Structure 1
Amino acid sequence: MKNNKRLLVTMKNIYIKLLIGFLGIIVISCKNNKQLQLVNNGTSNYEIVIAENFSNEMLAVSEELQAYIQKISTVKIPIVVENKVATNKYKLFLKVEDFNKNKLKIKVEETNNIVISGGSEIALKNAVYEFLEGYLNCKWYTPKVEDIPTQKIISLDKNIDFEYQPNITTRTVHSKLFYENPEFAAKHKVTTNAFPYYVPMARVHTFNKFLPEEVFYKEHPEYYALRGAKRLPTQLCLTNNEVYKIVKDSVASLFHQYPEASVISVSQNDNQQYCTCEKCKAIDEAEGSPSGTMIQFVNKIAADFPNKTISTLAYQYTRKPSKTKPLSNVLITLCSIECDRSAPIEEKCDDFSEDLKGWKQITENIRIWDYTTQFTNFLAPFPNIHTLQPNLQFFKNNNAKWVFEQHSQNPSELFELRSYITAKLLWNPNLDIEELITEFTNGYYKEAGVYVKKYIDLVHKKIQEDKNFFLFLYGDPSQAFDSFLNPELLKQYDSFFNEAEKVAASPEVLERIKCARISVDYAILEACKKGISKDFQLVIFDDKGNKNINPYANEKLINFYETCKKNHITLMNEMGFTIEEYYNGYRKSLEVATIPNIAKGKKVTLLTKPKKYANENPQTLTDGALGGSNFYANWLGFEGNNLEAVIDLEQSNNINSITTAFLQVTNHIVFFPKSVSYYYSNDDINYTKLGTVINDEPLTKTSKINDIKYFKLKFPNVSAKYIKVVAENMKEAPYWHHAAGLPSWIFADEVLIN
């Protein structure tokens, strides 16, 4: 009886196992019915099929597909032409088909054949990369860092039927990662240069190239803009018929020189000094915008070259649309340079939003020139990532087929991440931005990515909480020291990167983290220069009251400099201010900060009026905070007038040197003073001149764009209670400068008296 029971139990268990196995076979069978296997355990029953009359481009893209499938599975699927296919093989077709040139398709047919196609060879290449990334999970984070899965089986859903046509058809991210690495650019479907299809010599701001001031101005001032009562070579007079003839001839010559180019820029110089002569003014008033004369002029040029595209700018004074419609071969490049980057353009840049909508009503050819970094401080924290997607969606929805996202080109804050996600959103503005950021931080920074993501999340959260902050392309981190870069937050950001460095499991990942943190380190260095709290100072005092360099600031400076050098980061801003110059200048600041200065904290009385910057606070000159490379960074500014200041030393002191620092940013009309004179007094009535320091580097066309200069005077000992500083302003920009006729600035910082 017991044996019979055991037999029944055994048979029951066998039956259950058989039933489970049978059901498993059914499940697997159902699953397999929905899947096809491109590769299975070292073999493939597929071949890649290309057209019999294949081009080099077609062969190259098929070899790229073949190579990545081999990287994933070790299987090299053969490439064959259509007339040599094997009858017993499934087909992976690569085709250029007769539909929109930007459209792509990926489809699995009922026969289990796979068709990857595009309306052009470029679209086909995009389709192949879309297949590799979307269906085989390949990721390309930088030119040298990719994440390619390794697996013995590559399965695909049999129901794949994908097609996509990007709204933005010419996509550019201003990043050397793409410009210097065409293969990487292809994977992200962006251009390999800033101005594809353009004549190389005429891409933007071309008026001064067509009619150079050095050639024409002396004999023909009437070719140029009337400003007040004087003709100045700032812009062209667009109602002068001789100007039209010269530009037309120049355009013809350049197209002849570069026959492969299809676009040329006929566009204003980079200033707002347009012509106000009687004829130009009348047209602009009738058109409701200075773009009126521009569009009428450009239309005349475009009519002469009907088979080419004439690009022009809707930029600053020409941004508002004219009443005259651009011809069909005129490309309007609309620029968003003035916009606040702390929020999406539609929320905080009403004027630009309305202008884009206005251009949409009169033209189908719109190119957006957008900006995504701080050009005065490439390496500063610039929390605008949350605005990229809504801005691109806004551009797409308003007829922009061509978008140029001007990043720094050179390395900047989170450069690799920004390049990656901007390219992704240009291709598809509806992608999930949070998923993109997480995908990149986890893929590129690996185990440390969670801490980089914490920094990104927090800095963006804090700027969105500060509704009044204007995140400006030409701003400075010092503007945010009471906002998203306040002392407590700087310490928090610093701690995130400290944790990231601790968990980095390889030297490669550790170096990526060090590179990612340079923006926070830079903000901390600037915070120390300004002395924003007891934790962020250039100097500290020992128990005996002696001033010493703050080791925290010194360590940050060394790490910042060494990381930049190791990663070939060379530029601080668009003015050509180098890392080397910043490092040497900061060393000078550390030296200056430790020098005894009897003027520090002393009362300053201004005899001339400053304007706008440093809150117009005279104490900026003696507050102990040292100015940086940008005019927002603790500099007292004077527009068109001299600096005259008196410093009350409170009691008579024996002194023998006075030094004042001045800033130069020539493209923003900030020039060194012509001279600086120093005077002393003991009654604040009768002053004796100590001497004058002449600027030994007067302004020229080749002057350094961004610089700091110390005007130091040494003299025999005198006893003085009051010191007067007089810095002579150039008053206005020279005639050859883009701001000719406008008042020039001088910016002064710390006065050092010993």
Structure 2
Amino acid sequence: MKKSVLVILLAIGFLVSSCSGNQIKIAENGKTDYEIVYMGNATKSQHMSAELLGDYLNKISGIELDIVDESSQTLKKKIYIGNIKEDNLQPDEVRIKTEKGNLFISGGSDNAVQNAVYEFLERYLDCKWYAPGVEEIPHHKTINLNPIDYSYTPEITTRTVHSKLFYENHEFADQQKVTYEAFPNYVPAARVHTFHRFMPEEVFYEAHPEYYALRNGKRLPTQLCLTNEKVLEIVKDSVASHFKRNPQTSVISVSQDDNQQHCQCDNCRKIDDEEGSPAGTMIHFVNKVAEAFPEKTISTLAYQYTRKPPKVHPAANVLITLCSIECDRSAPIAEKCTDFADDLIGWGKLTNNIRIWDYTTQFTNFLAPFPNIFTLQPNIQLFRDNNAKWVFEQHSHNPSELFELRSYITAKLLWNPNQDFDALLKEFTEGYYQEAGPYIEKYIRLIHSKIQGDNDFFLFLYGDPSEAFSSYLSPELLKEYSNIFDEAEKAVSEKEEVINRVKMARLGVDYAILEASRKNITKSYSLMTVDDNSKEVINPMVATLLDSFINTARKNDITLMNEMGFTINEYATNYMSALKIAQKPNKAKGKKVVTLTKPKKYANEDPMVLTDSALGGSSFYANWLGYEGNDMEVVVDLGKIQNISSISMAFLQVTNHVVFFPSSVTYLGSSDNTNFIELGNLKNPSPLNKKSKVNDINYFDLKFEPQNIRYVKVVAKNQETPYWHHAAGLPSWVFADEIIIN
């Protein structure tokens, strides 16, 4: 009987609404004839979606809509939430449709229903959400809708942007239709690089070195030996244990550790040779693990040495996570990283179960200008076109250059890779930066045009601003960028909140100028300058800029400079030390340096960087002279015999890149460059261990009784990469910079 009454009520409702013409009027002068209806068997999520829509319609027009289930509806016109018509919708499909004066907002799943509500609010009512707490909600007493018949199924079904803006603000993530976390449904302790978690070297290596990779005739705990049956047994047991402790999860990563030191024993090598890729042993191994867990998903990496696809097909429940870490970011992957594009196509022929792990920032310098924004859309389209349903865009997680803009645009493109990029860029810059928006957009377009005009520049995820001082960060361009941001700040000078957003946006340019000044690339961009009294003093521009940079970062809770944990506070301390060093008298300044051992690759292999007054920063690209696998031995010629009593030299440590402090530094002196006496030997005050600070700078300072010296020799002892390090078996680096002699 109840069903018959409901049918009659629906029929009357449709008849009444059909008389009002093609346009439907949700609100008129703050009043409404509509109610929101959800299905009688609606889930809690669908009910929340109905409430969500009601709240926003109230914000927009002031109307109060009743929210009822289908058995309680009245003769009012309807806004139906959920698949009330029981259409055959795909799980991720959203559908918005007007029919006979009613509005249907539906989806193929709870999440799709919520996405449909937000899509309706944004597409048809012009709501915008730029960042947590920064939204644009129109106010209209009257809401008229033209006929709607919209359906959309996102081709990328799991969309992740590695940004704390989404992870810490779930409502904002919902608004942009991305996940709340980097690894949804994964076992928390086994998300990536898990070999060392399943088989820690502290537990197994000493007693069973055969479980680990054979490298140059020696077993090292860099990777596992994937043809050892005992290893397979232990890993399966560990996987089972993880799933037992986390029964709510459905995915676990069985994947290589973050290095390229894979096993080269006869058994592993044979399989890899037959498969045409070291991914061969990996997939054979992972398939066997997956066979033991048919109801779960076993994720593994196609990363670095395993990126090239083998011949063997991954099992149906194996998820291939394909990583683009090596690619040049100055242009789309399809143009400048064709090997990766080819590998993507190759994996697509082996499996439909592909997750893309892409990278969108400079991990060694979060705040540096990184002009890759125009590559985001073609890259996401490439992934989509090759059947990638799951895309993880690894941004910095922590605040970085143009953080809010990048987070917003990347999320939008993951939802719809085909939308108008220029319109999207303008939408955000003018919405978030308001009157300053045109200036921010001008800066973005200018810096991108400059790198696009430099075909030889390799924009690397682990690079440094110093690489670009003859390219898109030239002194002339840095000045132009700075002037653009000056105009941007003027445009919103009366808006404290917006001017703060502009100051955050200019952190990249300010950081580049600070690093250019550290390197003394011009008279204007230098640590020291000459005042009106012909006295050398700290460059006042640098002092002011450093103060502004640090204050803006601290005000906005920006704490990290890079992924190695180098903090804003450490950067400030390091830079202040550089200013103090720049003020010191230095008898070695500009003096000739000869290297007795061979440097490699960095600083153009020119030992003169040790006396050029340009000081190295936290990255080895920034003015550091590097020695790989050998000791550093250099001689500084002071030009004449001088009385000296102190020597200091800076050394860099970046442990994840196999850059360690020297085990010792010895300073020697001579008057004839033949007979040297030892002035002192300094041991590394912080010997390398597993808990060593990842990114650090240390000054090896020596004071001694005054000596008459012309030639100063420095011997910095390299140390062997320890067996427990991910690069065990590979040579380590020593990086040195400015020598101060007085």
1:699 and 2:688 correspond: yes
1:67 and 2:55 correspond: yes
Greater mean deviation of Cα atoms: 508-517 or 539-548: 539-548
Identify which of 710, 714, 719 aligns with 1:721. Answer: 710
Contact 1:48–1:94, Cα closer than 8 Å, also in 2: no
Cα separation, 1, equivalents of 2:357 and 2:481: 32
Deviation at 1:541, TM superposition (A): 1.6
Residue matched to 2:616: 627
Superposed, which structure 2 residues align to 1:600-615 within 5 Å? 600-615=589-604
Contact 2:35–2:76, Cα closer than 8 Å, also in 1: no
Residue matched to 1:374: 362
Residue matched to 2:523: 534
Deviation at 1:127, TM superposition (A): 0.5
Cα separation, 2, equivalents of 1:591 and 1:33: 77
1:201-244 per-residue CA deviation (whole Å, 9 max, x = no partner) reads 10000000000000000000000000011100000000000000
Cα separation, 2, equivalents of 1:93 and 1:166: 20
Deviation at 1:269, TM superposition (A): 0.2
Contact 2:95–2:106, Cα closer than 8 Å, also in 1: yes
**What secondary structure is seen at the aligned counterpart in 2 of 1:523?**
helix
1:291 and 2:291 correspond: no
Identify which of 565, 574, 577 aligns with 1:588. Answer: 577
Greater mean deviation of Cα atoms: 248-257 or 576-585: 248-257
Cα separation, 2, equivalents of 1:278 and 1:502: 68
Deviation at 1:724, TM superposition (A): 0.6
Residue matched to 1:489: 477
Deviation at 1:36, TM superposition (A): 1.6
When residues 469 and 44 of structure 1 are mapped into structure 2, their CA distance, relative to the original with a 3 A threshold, is same
1:338 and 2:335 correspond: no
1:648-677 per-residue CA deviation (whole Å, 9 max, x = no partner) reads 111111111000000000000000000111
Superposed, which structure 2 residues align to 1:406-555 within 5 Å? 406-504=394-492, 505-555=494-544
Residue matched to 1:29: none
1:79 and 2:87 correspond: no
Greater mean deviation of Cα atoms: 541-550 or 427-436: 541-550
Q: Which one-letter code corresponds to 1:71 in the other structure?
A: K
Residue matched to 1:643: 632
Deviation at 1:94, TM superposition (A): 3.3
Contact 1:660–1:711, Cα closer than 8 Å, also in 2: yes
Identify which of 103, 107, 112 aligns with 2:97. Answer: 107
User: What TM-score do you get using the length of structure 2 for normalisation?
Assistant: 0.96
Cα separation, 1, equivalents of 2:345 and 2:410: 23
Cα separation, 2, equivalents of 1:91 and 1:695: 71
1:475-500 per-residue CA deviation (whole Å, 9 max, x = no partner) reads 00000000000001000111111111
When residues 223 and 660 of structure 1 are mapped into structure 2, their CA distance, relative to the original with a 3 A threshold, is same
Deviation at 1:77, TM superposition (A): 1.5
Cα separation, 1, equivalents of 2:570 and 2:475: 26
Contact 1:421–1:437, Cα closer than 8 Å, also in 2: yes
When residues 198 and 88 of structure 1 are mapped into structure 2, their CA distance, relative to the original with a 3 A threshold, is closer
Q: Which one-letter code corresponds to 1:626 in the other structure?
A: L
Cα separation, 2, equivalents of 1:329 and 1:93: 34
Deviation at 1:688, TM superposition (A): 1.0
Gaps of 5+ in 2: 1-19
Identify which of 186, 194, 198 aligns with 2:182. Answer: 194
Cα separation, 2, equivalents of 1:351 and 1:631: 27
Cα separation, 2, equivalents of 1:41 and 1:92: 22
**What secondary structure is seen at the aligned counterpart in 1 of 2:125?**
coil
Cα separation, 2, equivalents of 1:89 and 1:607: 87
Identify which of 223, 226, 232 aligns with 1:244. Answer: 232
Contact 1:93–1:113, Cα closer than 8 Å, also in 2: no
Contact 1:235–1:275, Cα closer than 8 Å, also in 2: yes
Deviation at 1:547, TM superposition (A): 1.9
1:1-26 per-residue CA deviation (whole Å, 9 max, x = no partner) reads xxxxxxxxxxxxxxxxxxxxxxxxxx
Deviation at 1:543, TM superposition (A): 4.2
When residues 204 and 129 of structure 1 are mapped into structure 2, their CA distance, relative to the original with a 3 A threshold, is same
1:130 and 2:130 correspond: no
**What secondary structure is seen at the aligned counterpart in 1 of 2:716?**
strand
Residue matched to 1:119: 108
1:335-361 per-residue CA deviation (whole Å, 9 max, x = no partner) reads 000000000000000110110000000
User: What TM-score do you get using the length of structure 1 for normalisation?
Assistant: 0.95
Deviation at 1:309, TM superposition (A): 0.4
**What secondary structure is seen at the aligned counterpart in 1 of 2:395?**
strand
Residue matched to 1:170: 158
Deviation at 1:527, TM superposition (A): 0.5
Contact 1:607–1:645, Cα closer than 8 Å, also in 2: yes
Identify which of 665, 672, 679 aligns with 2:661. Answer: 672
Cα separation, 2, equivalents of 1:637 and 1:545: 36
Contact 2:77–2:102, Cα closer than 8 Å, also in 1: no
Cα separation, 2, equivalents of 1:105 and 1:666: 51
Which is higher, the Rg of structure 1 or of structure 2? Answer: 1
Contact 1:46–1:92, Cα closer than 8 Å, also in 2: no
1:662 and 2:651 correspond: yes
**What secondary structure is seen at the aligned counterpart in 2 of 1:752?**
strand
Contact 2:49–2:81, Cα closer than 8 Å, also in 1: no
Q: Which one-letter code corresponds to 2:89 in the other structure?
A: F
Deviation at 1:462, TM superposition (A): 0.5
The percent of aligned pairs where both chains have the same amino acid is 63
Aligned length: 721
**What secondary structure is seen at the aligned counterpart in 2 of 1:604?**
strand
Deviation at 1:53, TM superposition (A): 2.1
Deviation at 1:89, TM superposition (A): 2.8
1:693-733 per-residue CA deviation (whole Å, 9 max, x = no partner) reads 11110000000000000001001111111111110000x31
1:180 and 2:168 correspond: yes
Cα separation, 2, equivalents of 1:329 and 1:405: 23
Cα separation, 1, equivalents of 2:306 and 2:429: 40
Cα separation, 2, equivalents of 1:509 and 1:231: 57
1:689 and 2:684 correspond: no
Deviation at 1:186, TM superposition (A): 0.6
**What secondary structure is seen at the aligned counterpart in 2 of 1:400?**
coil
Cα separation, 1, equivalents of 2:247 and 2:636: 65
1:222 and 2:210 correspond: yes
Deviation at 1:99, TM superposition (A): 2.1
Cα separation, 1, equivalents of 2:736 and 2:71: 77
**What secondary structure is seen at the aligned counterpart in 2 of 1:95?**
coil
1:401 and 2:389 correspond: yes
Q: Which one-letter code corresponds to 1:656 in the other structure?
A: S
1:573 and 2:562 correspond: yes
1:584-616 per-residue CA deviation (whole Å, 9 max, x = no partner) reads 000000000010111111111000000000110
Residue matched to 1:734: 722
**What secondary structure is seen at the aligned counterpart in 2 of 1:524?**
helix
Cα separation, 2, equivalents of 1:412 and 1:455: 17
Q: Which one-letter code corresponds to 2:91 in the other structure?
A: K
Cα separation, 2, equivalents of 1:66 and 1:726: 73
